[in-house]
Chain A
Amino acid sequence: MLNILVIGNGQCGNRILDSINKHAFGGKGGKLVKFYSKQKFNSNVQTIAINTAVNDLKEMKYTRAKDRIHIPHLHGVGANRTIGKQVFEEKKEMVMREIEGRGNFDIAFVITSASGGTGSSFTPRIIKELKERYDYPVYAVVVLPFREEGTLYLQNAAFSLREIRESGVDGIILSDNQYLKNIGGSIQEAYDGINDMIAERILFLVDALDSEMMMVTDLGDFKTVMKGGAGLATIGFYRAEKDMPVKTAIQNALSPSGLLFSTDIYQEASRAMVIIKGDQKYLSIDDISNEIEKLSGAVGHVFKGIVVRKGEGPQVLAVLTLESARELESLYSIAVQAIQHEKEKKLRVQSGMELDKSFSQIEGLEPEY
């Protein structure tokens, strides 16, 4: 049995972590599911939610209270990564003690938004500390912001992503809100939908890494895949109806609608791991082999695993590491503009100090009536 640590950092990380815990109860996960059901992890999965904003921690419904770590600092760091980094440095030992208290792990995932305050500033440092203190692989699941969310978030995302990559992380799995925003509904529904999508994929991955398979992929394979490319990866997923051929399910998982990040996998993917789960009667080995062969032809090495689950329709998860990411380049271009924009605003504000000169003209005078 694998020992897996999943950390959710900041508001976005907390919500995805809560969604993972909710889905782990199985079924549709109503509000009372925690009272009558048990989480169905195959592995020893420890989840920890970290936040400086206590309200974000209080919002969580499916994560145990002891797994929610509040780092006291007013009501958050206000999207200011500088303050976030300072707070982490002050509370670093408290955070690491909590993690250490959960025991030893075989793998860790740190989920965060790249654009917020706490998550984007804590995550690179937590990963750095984990890598320095432990020898298990640590992977970051990073959620990129909507491009119209504002300049602060964009510049945070740009700097945070760079710092995460430089923290010693073993791989970054990207998820892009901008890419997924066509999920529809209200902003809250879109956020919830994206959180659920990411949670579902991570749960599938965690479940598959510790399952008996017809064709085996394991943690080692996952590490190999994640080492490929530029250290960036994304995940494709598709849950098919029972009467859908498995090859169509694989194609859908690899199609843009199945991915968390905008990429042309046949151009940018470096390595892949495809895990297919479902009832044996839906899993045609020939179809699977044909589709995997097609993918291998484009990306190089593809690990494939088949998990047999009686009564379940075909589900496909693909982990794809990327050699390049044009979408990231685009993001960074926008981020640079955002940084310039912020800089200009600051200068304008500083020039607004000329007002003080105007005020100084009436110094020593009193109004006469």
Chain B
Amino acid sequence: MNLKGTITSVLCAFFILLMLNGAASARVEIFDGDIEEGDGYQINNYVIDITDVFVEANTASYYVYEKNTKIETGLLDVNETAEFDFEGEGKLYLRLKSVHGGILPRATVDITLSNFDKSDVYSNKIVDGGHSKASYGIPDLKITKEIDRNTLNVGESVTVTVKATNVGNDVAKDVIFIDPKQEHFVLEATTYEETSVDEIDKGESFLVYIYELKAMEAGDFRLRPITATYKNSVGQSYESGSNTPAVSVEGAGASKANIETAMNVDSRVLERNEKISTTFILKNTGGTTAQAVRLEVQIPEGLEYVSGDEEFEVVGGKPRVYIETLQPGNDKEFGCTLRAKDMGSYTLTGKLSYEYQNGLDSENIKEYEEISVSGISVEKGKYDHLLELPVYVYVIPLLLLAGIGVHFYRKHREYKF
């Protein structure tokens, strides 16, 4: 009985030892080689810096960082091993095998890992300059722009859904999505919109947009990509772009008038009382006639309207031009002259409005645009300094001249026969 109990105890001890030995043997080799003094070795977000190598003492000192946070320091003798936690359950072992002198002292180390799947090690390498030079996990947002259909008619809508998934190995922080305006379509409705988020964790998905675009013109188009800017956990910046789904729009397109404007001035720096010539060019680059085109010039206080082409009329002190229609491809040019009244820096603004029939809607589409020329600087006039002189400077000579004039007139009368 005692023997049986003894055999059972020995077997139990043997299995325990076997298990322990099995765990020990589960260590995986990460690195075995030389690290120069001042360099480090990175395993994922951990960096082991070899800070000093003491050849005579057969020792080397080390610091261990998780990202930029120091978590461990120590001094190892040759053949001594240090261990510390790695990403939760894992254990990291650092054994100093030998030290070497020279211009750049180095330590030969052996780094192993246990309780950690080696396939999860996405980064392991020597880092020149130690932890401060290490790059850590990289978030990677995969943005998908999906449409509910690829073919539609003019005037019909397509639903666009935008999602982002972090397929990188680090969290994506401070994420901002930018969706550019889409040509040939107009935004008809927005169901969902979340254009920024603090963070998207590894593997996490995020719904950005759900909206409807109404097709305005026929043709084959690609929707423009959504871009996202974000940072990794240590603040490094990254950018991703979405796919560009293809859409085929059939049928007669919606007509659109598009007036492009240009406003020019012949001089941006002028003296007080000088005149400035302003030119406005309106060109209809759209496909349909623009109607009720109205350009109203907003003249700042320091400038005043002097004259303009015959198309100009002044209503309520504001010069404006009104054109019944502006055909596609046509342009019109108007000029007016302004005078600088007061010194200062001014912005000249033109407010444009027009309407057009798009062929789809029953009502006219109204468009508004504002153009401006800023930085018109009015400086002191050539003779302005005279106005700054005190009144007596003018009054006294004028009185003297008047007196002389009266004297001369009286003398002339006195002697005129």
Contacts from A to B (Cβ < 8 Å)? 34-35, 57-58, 60-66, 68
Bound-state CA distance A253–B417 (Å) is 37
Q: Kindly state whether residue B133 has any CB partner on chain A within 8 Å.
A: no
B118 at the A interface (CB under 8 A)? no
B383 an interface residue at 8 Å Cβ cutoff?
no
Q: Which residues of the partner chain A approach B411 to less than 8 Å between Cβ atoms?
A: 34-35
Contact, CB under 8 Å: B417 / A58:
yes
Chain B residues within an 8 Å CB radius of A64 = 414-415
Chain A residues with CB under 8 A of B415: 34, 61-65
Query: How distant is the Cα of A58 from the Cα of B416 in the complex, in angstroms?
Result: 8
B351 CB-CB contact with A under 8 Å: no
Pairwise interchain contact A35-B417, C-beta atoms closer than 8 A: no
User: Could you say which residues of chain A place their CB within 8 Å of the CB of B412?
Assistant: 35
Q: What B residues does A34 contact at CB under 8 A? A: 411, 415
Question: Are the CB atoms of B416 and A35 closer together than 8 Å?
Answer: no
What's the least CB distance linking B400 to chain A, in Å? 14
9 interchain pairs (CB within 8 A)?
A34-B411, A35-B407, A35-B408, A35-B412, A61-B415, A63-B415, A64-B414, A65-B417, A68-B417
B359-417 with Cβ < 8 A to chain A: 407-408, 411-417
A-side contacts of B416, CB under 8 Å: 65
Question: Known pairs A34-B411, A65-B413. 6 more at Cβ < 8 A?
Answer: A35-B407, A35-B412, A57-B417, A60-B417, A65-B417, A66-B414
- Nearest residue (CB) in B for A62 is B415
Closest 3 CB pairs of A and B: A65-B417, A35-B411, A68-B417
Closest B-chain residue to A60, C-beta based? B417
Residues of B within 8 A of A63 (CB): 415
> How long is the Cα–Cα vector from A214 to B255 in the complex, in angstroms?
117
- Interface residue ranges, B against A (CB under 8 Å): 407-408, 411-417
Per the bound structure, the CA–CA distance linking A65 and B413 in Å amounts to 8
List chain A residues, Cβ under 8 A from B408.
35
Tell me the smallest distance from the CB of A226 to a CB of chain B, in Å. Answer: 33
Residues of chain A within 8 A (CB-CB) of B413 are: 65
Contact residues in A for B417 (Cβ distance below 8 Å)? 57-58, 60, 65, 68
Of listed B407, B413, B414, B417, residue having the most chain A CB within 10 A:
B417
Closest residue to A65 on the B side, CB-wise? B417
CA of A63 to CA of B411 in the docked complex: distance in angstroms? 11
CA–CA, A60 to B417, complex, Å? Answer: 9
Complex Cα gap A123–B415 (Å):
25
Q: Which residues of B contact A61 (CB under 8 A)?
A: 415
Q: Can you name the residue of chain A whose Cβ is closest to the Cβ of B408?
A: A35
How long is the Cα–Cα vector from A62 to B416 in the complex, in angstroms? 10
In the complex, which residues of chain B have a beta carbon less than 8 angstroms from the beta carbon of A58?
Answer: 417
Chain B residues whose CB sits within 8 angstroms of the CB of A62 once the complex forms: 415
Residues in B with CB closer than 8 Å to A68 are 417
CB distance from A141 to the nearest CB of B (A): 23
- Chain B residues lying within 8 Å of A57, measured Cβ to Cβ, are 417
C-alpha gap A57/B416 in the complex (Å):
10
Q: How far is the CA of A156 from the CA of B382 in the complex (A)?
A: 72
Q: Which of A57, A60, A65 has the most CB of B within 10 A?
A: A65
> Shortest distance in angstroms between B397's beta carbon and chain A's nearest beta carbon?
18
Chain B's closest residue to A54 (CB) is B417
Residues of A within 8 A of B407 (CB): 35
Instruction: Give Cα A63 to B414, complex, Å.
Output: 9
Closest CB of chain B to A98's CB: distance in Å? 14
* Least Cβ–Cβ distance between A165 and chain B, in angstroms: 32
A335 CB to nearest B CB, Å = 34
Q: Which residue of B lies closest to A21 (CB)?
A: B415
Q: How far is the CA of A34 from the CA of B415 in the complex (A)?
A: 9
Q: Measured between C-beta atoms, what is the minimum distance from A166 to chain B in Å?
A: 33
CA distance A3 to B413 in the complex (A): 26
CA distance A65 to B416 in the complex (A): 6
A53 to chain B, nearest CB (A): 12
Nearest residue, chain B, Cβ from A70: B417
Q: Which residues of A contact B414 (CB under 8 A)?
A: 64-66
A33 and B411 CA atoms in complex are apart in Å by: 11
Min Cβ gap A15→B in Å is 14
A66 to B417, CA, bound (A): 8
A366 to B417 alpha-carbon distance, docked (Å): 57
Contacts of A65 in B (CB 8 A): 413-417
In the assembled complex, the CB of B183 is this many whole angstroms from the nearest CB of chain A, namely: 84
Query: Given the complex of chains A and B, what is the CA–CA distance between A194 and B412 in angstroms?
Result: 28
Tell me the bound Cα distance from A61 to B412 in angstroms. 10
Cα distance A64–B415 when bound, in Å? 5
Q: How far is the CB of A56 from chain B (nearest CB, A)?
A: 10
Q: How far is the CB of B132 from chain A (nearest CB, A)?
A: 95
- Kindly provide the distance from the CB of B46 to the nearest chain A CB, expressed in whole angstroms: 107
What's the nearest-Cβ distance from chain B to residue A217, in Å?
34
Q: How far is the CA of A203 from the CA of B414 in the complex (A)?
A: 22
CA of A57 to CA of B412 in the docked complex: distance in angstroms?
A: 16
Q: Once bound together, how far apart are the Cα atoms of A253 and B411, in whole Å?
A: 37
Instruction: Give Cα A58–Cα B411 distance, bound, in whole angstroms.
Output: 16
Report the Cα distance A35→B416, complex, angstroms: 12
- Distance (Å) between the CB of A232 and the closest chain B CB? 34
Measured in the bound complex, the distance between the Cα atoms of B242 and A217 in whole Å is 128
Specify the chain A residue showing the minimal Cβ separation from B413.
A65
A68 to B413 alpha-carbon distance, docked (Å): 13
Q: Which residues of the partner chain B approach A60 to less than 8 Å between Cβ atoms?
A: 417
* Interchain nearest-CB distance for A49 vs B (Å): 9
**A68 CA to B415 CA in the complex, in Å?**
10
Question: A63: nearest residue on chain B (CB-CB)?
Answer: B415
How distant is A39 from chain B, measured CB to nearest CB, in Å?
A: 12
